[in-house]
Amino acid sequence: MRNIAFNPVKMSSPMQIWRSDIPSFGEDANCLISLIRQQIVQVSPLPVGTVYFGVSIRDGRPVLLDIKTPNPGSILLCGDRSSGKTALLKAVASGITYVFDSQDVQFAIVTSAHYSEWQGWKNLPHCAGLFSSNHGILTDIVDALVVWTSCSNAGQTLLLFIDGLRMVDLWGKKRYSLLQDLLTFGPYQNIWPIVATDAENFSKLASWGSCFGRHLFSMPGCGDSVFDFEFAMREDSVWCPFSILGSSDLVNFA
Protein backbone atom coordinates (compact mmCIF):
# COMPACT_ATOMS: atom_id res chain seq x y z
CA MET A 1 0.00 0.00 0.00
CA ARG A 2 1.39 3.35 -0.94
CA ASN A 3 1.15 6.08 1.67
CA ILE A 4 2.20 9.42 0.25
CA ALA A 5 0.86 11.45 3.12
CA PHE A 6 1.62 10.33 6.62
CA ASN A 7 4.17 11.38 9.17
CA PRO A 8 3.87 8.10 11.10
CA VAL A 9 3.50 7.96 14.87
CA LYS A 10 5.18 5.04 16.64
CA MET A 11 3.13 3.27 19.30
CA SER A 12 4.13 0.50 21.65
CA SER A 13 0.84 -1.41 21.47
CA PRO A 14 -2.17 -1.68 19.13
CA MET A 15 -4.89 0.94 19.41
CA GLN A 16 -8.29 -0.09 20.68
CA ILE A 17 -10.78 -0.63 17.87
CA TRP A 18 -14.01 -0.01 19.78
CA ARG A 19 -16.24 2.55 18.06
CA SER A 20 -19.85 3.50 17.48
CA ASP A 21 -21.79 2.22 14.48
CA ILE A 22 -21.36 4.06 11.19
CA PRO A 23 -23.53 3.82 8.07
CA SER A 24 -22.55 1.41 5.30
CA PHE A 25 -24.79 3.24 2.76
CA GLY A 26 -27.10 0.24 2.42
CA GLU A 27 -27.88 -0.77 -1.15
CA ASP A 28 -27.58 2.75 -2.63
CA ALA A 29 -24.28 3.07 -4.47
CA ASN A 30 -24.92 6.48 -6.01
CA CYS A 31 -24.56 8.51 -2.81
CA LEU A 32 -21.17 7.15 -1.83
CA ILE A 33 -19.86 7.11 -5.42
CA SER A 34 -20.71 10.81 -5.72
CA LEU A 35 -18.97 11.67 -2.44
CA ILE A 36 -15.85 9.69 -3.30
CA ARG A 37 -15.66 11.31 -6.72
CA GLN A 38 -15.82 14.75 -5.09
CA GLN A 39 -13.01 13.79 -2.75
CA ILE A 40 -10.80 12.35 -5.48
CA VAL A 41 -11.22 15.54 -7.52
CA GLN A 42 -9.99 17.53 -4.52
CA VAL A 43 -6.84 15.44 -4.09
CA SER A 44 -6.11 14.86 -7.78
CA PRO A 45 -4.07 14.23 -9.77
CA LEU A 46 -3.45 10.77 -8.37
CA PRO A 47 -0.38 8.81 -9.48
CA VAL A 48 -1.16 6.51 -12.39
CA GLY A 49 -2.23 3.01 -11.34
CA THR A 50 -3.22 3.83 -7.77
CA VAL A 51 -6.46 2.96 -5.96
CA TYR A 52 -7.98 5.46 -3.53
CA PHE A 53 -8.50 4.29 0.07
CA GLY A 54 -8.94 7.54 1.93
CA VAL A 55 -7.33 10.74 3.13
CA SER A 56 -4.71 11.36 5.78
CA ILE A 57 -6.08 12.68 9.04
CA ARG A 58 -2.93 14.75 9.47
CA ASP A 59 -2.48 16.59 6.19
CA GLY A 60 -5.32 15.65 3.84
CA ARG A 61 -3.19 13.85 1.29
CA PRO A 62 -4.51 10.62 -0.27
CA VAL A 63 -3.80 7.11 0.96
CA LEU A 64 -3.35 4.89 -2.08
CA LEU A 65 -2.74 1.31 -3.14
CA ASP A 66 -0.29 1.02 -6.03
CA ILE A 67 -1.58 -1.84 -8.18
CA LYS A 68 1.30 -1.62 -10.65
CA THR A 69 3.56 -3.52 -8.25
CA PRO A 70 2.69 -6.65 -6.21
CA ASN A 71 4.15 -5.15 -3.06
CA PRO A 72 3.03 -4.94 -0.31
CA GLY A 73 0.55 -7.72 -1.10
CA SER A 74 -2.90 -8.67 0.17
CA ILE A 75 -4.64 -6.54 2.78
CA LEU A 76 -6.35 -7.58 6.03
CA LEU A 77 -9.02 -5.18 7.34
CA CYS A 78 -10.03 -5.85 10.93
CA GLY A 79 -12.48 -4.24 13.33
CA ASP A 80 -15.50 -4.72 15.55
CA ARG A 81 -18.85 -5.49 14.02
CA SER A 82 -20.53 -2.42 12.47
CA SER A 83 -17.26 -0.51 12.62
CA GLY A 84 -17.14 0.62 9.00
CA LYS A 85 -15.31 -2.21 7.24
CA THR A 86 -17.98 -2.60 4.57
CA ALA A 87 -18.15 1.18 4.13
CA LEU A 88 -14.41 1.30 3.44
CA LEU A 89 -14.65 -1.49 0.85
CA LYS A 90 -17.51 0.36 -0.83
CA ALA A 91 -15.44 3.55 -0.86
CA VAL A 92 -12.61 1.71 -2.61
CA ALA A 93 -15.07 0.27 -5.14
CA SER A 94 -16.56 3.73 -5.70
CA GLY A 95 -13.15 5.21 -6.41
CA ILE A 96 -12.40 2.47 -8.93
CA THR A 97 -15.51 3.40 -10.93
CA TYR A 98 -14.24 6.97 -11.26
CA VAL A 99 -10.51 6.52 -11.79
CA PHE A 100 -10.30 3.42 -14.01
CA ASP A 101 -11.83 2.07 -17.17
CA SER A 102 -13.80 -1.11 -16.50
CA GLN A 103 -11.67 -2.92 -19.08
CA ASP A 104 -8.58 -2.27 -16.96
CA VAL A 105 -9.66 -2.60 -13.33
CA GLN A 106 -12.65 -4.38 -11.80
CA PHE A 107 -13.74 -5.54 -8.36
CA ALA A 108 -15.61 -8.61 -7.11
CA ILE A 109 -17.34 -9.15 -3.78
CA VAL A 110 -17.59 -12.37 -1.79
CA THR A 111 -19.77 -12.05 1.30
CA SER A 112 -22.58 -13.64 3.25
CA ALA A 113 -23.63 -11.34 6.09
CA HIS A 114 -23.45 -8.21 3.91
CA TYR A 115 -24.78 -9.63 0.64
CA SER A 116 -27.89 -7.42 0.51
CA GLU A 117 -25.85 -4.29 1.24
CA TRP A 118 -23.85 -4.77 -1.97
CA GLN A 119 -26.85 -5.04 -4.30
CA GLY A 120 -26.40 -1.49 -5.57
CA TRP A 121 -22.87 -2.26 -6.72
CA LYS A 122 -23.36 -5.54 -8.57
CA ASN A 123 -24.68 -4.00 -11.81
CA LEU A 124 -21.89 -1.44 -12.17
CA PRO A 125 -19.65 -2.00 -15.23
CA HIS A 126 -16.63 -2.36 -12.93
CA CYS A 127 -18.22 -5.15 -10.85
CA ALA A 128 -17.06 -8.60 -11.92
CA GLY A 129 -19.57 -10.28 -9.63
CA LEU A 130 -21.29 -10.42 -6.25
CA PHE A 131 -21.13 -13.85 -4.62
CA SER A 132 -22.45 -15.33 -1.40
CA SER A 133 -19.90 -17.28 0.64
CA ASN A 134 -22.62 -19.56 2.02
CA HIS A 135 -22.80 -23.26 1.21
CA GLY A 136 -19.12 -23.63 0.41
CA ILE A 137 -19.17 -21.31 -2.60
CA LEU A 138 -16.06 -19.55 -1.25
CA THR A 139 -14.08 -22.66 -2.16
CA ASP A 140 -15.40 -22.59 -5.72
CA ILE A 141 -14.61 -18.90 -6.16
CA VAL A 142 -11.11 -19.15 -4.75
CA ASP A 143 -10.47 -22.25 -6.87
CA ALA A 144 -11.57 -20.40 -10.00
CA LEU A 145 -9.39 -17.40 -9.15
CA VAL A 146 -6.36 -19.61 -8.62
CA VAL A 147 -6.88 -20.91 -12.15
CA TRP A 148 -7.40 -17.34 -13.36
CA THR A 149 -4.03 -16.28 -11.96
CA SER A 150 -2.28 -18.89 -14.09
CA CYS A 151 -3.80 -17.54 -17.30
CA SER A 152 -3.11 -14.41 -19.30
CA ASN A 153 -5.76 -11.74 -18.74
CA ALA A 154 -4.38 -8.92 -20.89
CA GLY A 155 -3.19 -7.03 -17.83
CA GLN A 156 -6.64 -6.61 -16.28
CA THR A 157 -6.57 -6.09 -12.51
CA LEU A 158 -9.17 -7.46 -10.09
CA LEU A 159 -9.67 -6.27 -6.51
CA LEU A 160 -11.32 -9.12 -4.60
CA PHE A 161 -13.29 -7.97 -1.55
CA ILE A 162 -13.97 -10.79 0.94
CA ASP A 163 -16.38 -8.94 3.20
CA GLY A 164 -16.95 -10.64 6.52
CA LEU A 165 -14.68 -13.68 6.38
CA ARG A 166 -15.43 -16.11 9.18
CA MET A 167 -13.07 -18.87 10.20
CA VAL A 168 -15.92 -21.35 9.74
CA ASP A 169 -15.76 -20.49 6.01
CA LEU A 170 -12.28 -22.02 5.94
CA TRP A 171 -12.95 -25.40 7.49
CA GLY A 172 -11.07 -27.99 5.51
CA LYS A 173 -7.48 -28.11 4.31
CA LYS A 174 -8.42 -27.38 0.71
CA ARG A 175 -10.04 -24.06 1.58
CA TYR A 176 -7.12 -23.01 3.75
CA SER A 177 -4.60 -23.90 1.07
CA LEU A 178 -6.47 -22.24 -1.79
CA LEU A 179 -7.04 -19.00 0.06
CA GLN A 180 -3.48 -18.84 1.33
CA ASP A 181 -2.18 -19.31 -2.21
CA LEU A 182 -4.47 -16.58 -3.49
CA LEU A 183 -3.46 -14.17 -0.72
CA THR A 184 0.24 -14.84 -1.25
CA PHE A 185 0.47 -14.95 -5.03
CA GLY A 186 -2.64 -13.15 -6.24
CA PRO A 187 -1.07 -9.66 -6.42
CA TYR A 188 1.65 -11.05 -8.69
CA GLN A 189 -1.12 -12.01 -11.13
CA ASN A 190 -3.13 -8.78 -10.80
CA ILE A 191 -5.58 -10.07 -8.17
CA TRP A 192 -5.61 -7.97 -5.00
CA PRO A 193 -7.49 -9.65 -2.12
CA ILE A 194 -8.79 -7.33 0.59
CA VAL A 195 -10.15 -9.42 3.46
CA ALA A 196 -12.46 -7.82 6.02
CA THR A 197 -13.06 -9.72 9.24
CA ASP A 198 -14.32 -9.12 12.76
CA ALA A 199 -11.82 -8.53 15.55
CA GLU A 200 -12.38 -11.99 17.00
CA ASN A 201 -10.76 -13.55 13.92
CA PHE A 202 -7.74 -11.26 13.79
CA SER A 203 -5.28 -13.38 15.74
CA LYS A 204 -6.01 -16.45 13.60
CA LEU A 205 -5.71 -14.63 10.27
CA ALA A 206 -2.72 -12.56 11.36
CA SER A 207 -0.87 -15.79 12.12
CA TRP A 208 -0.72 -16.40 8.37
CA GLY A 209 2.12 -13.90 8.40
CA SER A 210 3.39 -13.23 4.90
CA CYS A 211 -0.03 -13.87 3.34
CA PHE A 212 -0.99 -10.30 4.25
CA GLY A 213 1.28 -7.41 3.38
CA ARG A 214 -0.73 -4.77 5.28
CA HIS A 215 -3.09 -4.65 8.23
CA LEU A 216 -5.84 -2.02 8.45
CA PHE A 217 -7.92 -1.42 11.57
CA SER A 218 -11.18 0.44 12.10
CA MET A 219 -10.76 3.20 14.65
CA PRO A 220 -12.91 5.05 17.21
CA GLY A 221 -14.41 8.26 15.86
CA CYS A 222 -13.20 11.51 17.40
CA GLY A 223 -14.89 14.38 15.58
CA ASP A 224 -18.14 15.89 14.38
CA SER A 225 -18.27 13.55 11.39
CA VAL A 226 -18.48 9.78 11.50
CA PHE A 227 -15.73 9.81 8.89
CA ASP A 228 -13.18 11.46 11.21
CA PHE A 229 -10.33 9.20 12.37
CA GLU A 230 -11.93 6.28 10.65
CA PHE A 231 -9.14 3.77 10.09
CA ALA A 232 -5.46 3.15 10.73
CA MET A 233 -2.85 1.38 8.66
CA ARG A 234 -0.27 -0.63 10.57
CA GLU A 235 3.21 -1.30 9.28
CA ASP A 236 5.47 -2.82 11.93
CA SER A 237 5.03 -0.47 14.93
CA VAL A 238 3.97 2.53 12.83
CA TRP A 239 0.32 3.65 12.82
CA CYS A 240 -1.08 5.90 10.08
CA PRO A 241 -4.65 7.18 10.67
CA PHE A 242 -6.90 8.04 7.73
CA SER A 243 -10.56 8.62 6.89
CA ILE A 244 -12.75 7.72 3.94
CA LEU A 245 -13.49 11.39 3.28
CA GLY A 246 -11.11 14.17 4.16
CA SER A 247 -13.60 16.88 5.06
CA SER A 248 -16.52 16.74 7.46
CA ASP A 249 -18.09 19.44 5.27
CA LEU A 250 -18.83 16.81 2.60
CA VAL A 251 -21.02 14.63 4.77
CA ASN A 252 -22.15 14.80 8.37
CA PHE A 253 -24.52 12.39 10.08
CA ALA A 254 -26.23 13.10 13.39
**151-165 pLDDT per residue, tens:** 545 678 999 998 887
Q: Are 232 and 240 within 8 A, CB to CB? A: yes
How much is the pTM?
0.81
Topology of domain 2-243 in CATH is Rossmann fold (3.40.50)
Which range, 3-17, 129-143, 217-231, has the best average confidence (pLDDT)?
129-143
- Residue type for position 173: K
Confidence of residue 50 (pLDDT cuts 50, 70, 90): very high
DSSP-assigned letter for residue 75: E
Higher pLDDT, 153 or 113: 113
Radius of gyration of the chain (CA): 17
Q: Is the pLDDT of residue 94 over 90?
A: yes
Name 210's bridge partners. Answer: none
> By the 8 A CB rule, do 53 and 92 touch?
yes
Please choose, from the candidates 50, 73, 107, the residue with its C-alpha nearest in 3D space to the C-alpha of residue 189: 73
